[in-house]
Amino acid sequence: MDRYCVFGNPIAHSKSPLIHAEFASLTQQQLSYDKQLVAEDQFPQAVAEFRRQGGQGANVTLPFKQQAFELCDGLTDRARLSGAVNTLYWQGDQLWGDNTDGEGLVRDLLRNGVELKGCRILLIGAGGAVRGVIPSLFEQQPQSIVVANRTQAKAETLAQHFAELGDISSCAMDEIDGAFDLIINGTSASLSSTALPVNADVIQRAKCCYDMAYGSEPTVFQQQAKQLGVSKSLDGLGMLIQQAAVSFERWRGVTPDPQPVYDLIKRQL
């Protein structure tokens, strides 16, 4: 049976085995998909050993996405641009890396009726999560992207890094001004239930607010948006399922329907 896995540390919480088992069942694919806890200094060895045992492909989660990027012999354009890899596969003896996070976000937004072409996007945060999605967002030809971060210098570094892809600029989080169609929270503030110090006017004018985090209840950012009357506020569960679907597609050549898996995981949160 073809073998896949997800490498991470910690990894016990990962929903990837459940998601991929459901995809396999929905598409009648015979495969196994496990979690692998890897010591921080053992990532290259773990990948090599997995391949030696017949592994066909793998996902990579924290803290190994950058190490995976460095380990690969070949990279897709979006993985190269984002500097991080979440999906590994082999072509002959060569290890290849892709980053499906951005495509997962885009698919989830489009599926929820959010128009991206010509859209003015505000991205809040400047860590790995935000960096990983910028190339795929630009593929949708938005009008502009503004990156706002608590530490402005990091937002500025990202804006400079992606300048060749389109209209991108940066600002400090408490200085955000202007009108945006879509606001995406890519900070880890939701995980600590912290409200973001973003001007209420800016949130109020958005057509959609999206939090890359998710939980059993709406996130603090979703609550902020709702209180300010934003009609559409989404969390990142759809992105999680969709990035997995893009990985599955790369490995298996078939596209699974994300909806049944979304419903299943939503019920379990």
Residue in the shown chain whose Cβ atom is closest to ligand ATR: 127
DSSP-derived pairing of the beta strands 144-149 and 120-124: parallel
Closest contact distance (angstroms) between CB of 99 and ligand ATR is 13
Q: Measured in whole angstroms, how far is the alpha carbon of residue 57 from the centre of its chain?
A: 18
For residue 48, what are the contacts with CB-CB under 8 A and spacing of at least 6? none
173-211 as b/e, with b when 16 or more CB fall inside 10 Å?
beebeeebbbbbbbbebbeeeeebebeeebbebbebbbb
266 annotated as belonging to a binding site for a ligand: no
250 annotated as belonging to a binding site for a ligand: no
Q: Which residue has the tokens 């989404």?
A: 234
160 annotated as belonging to a binding site for a ligand: no
Q: Tell me whether residue 65 is one of the annotated catalytic residues.
A: yes
> At how many degrees (to 10) do helices 152-161 and 128-139 cross?
40
Residues in touch with ligand ATR (CB under 6 A):
125-129, 149-151, 154, 187-189, 194, 196
1 annotated as belonging to a binding site for a ligand: no
151 annotated as belonging to a binding site for a ligand: yes
Contact between residue 138 and residue 111 where contact means Cβ atoms under 8 Å apart: no
Closest contact distance (angstroms) between CB of 146 and ligand ATR is 14
Closest contact distance (angstroms) between CB of 205 and ligand ATR is 21
User: Of 35, 65, 207, 226, which residue is the catalytic one?
Assistant: 65
Q: 194: which DSSP letter? A: P
224 annotated as belonging to a binding site for a ligand: no
For residues 133 and 43, what is the distance between their CA atoms, to the nearest angstrom?
24
Backbone angles phi, psi at 144, to 5 degrees: -160, 160
Closest contact distance (angstroms) between CB of 6 and ligand ATR is 16
In the bound state with ligand ATR, the residue whose beta carbon lies nearer, of 47 and 129, is 129
In the bound state with ligand ATR, the residue whose beta carbon lies nearer, of 127 and 215, is 127
Closest contact distance (angstroms) between CB of 151 and ligand ATR is 3
Report, in angstroms and rounded to the nearest whole number, the Rg of the chain calculated over CA atoms.
18
In the bound state with ligand ATR, the residue whose beta carbon lies nearer, of 75 and 129, is 129
Annotated active-site positions, please?
65
The annotation places the binding site for NADP(+) at: 77, 125-129, 149-154, 212, 236
The annotation places the binding site at: 14-16, 61, 77, 86, 101, 125-129, 149-154, 212, 214, 236, 243
The annotation places the binding site for shikimate at: 14-16, 61, 86, 101, 214, 243
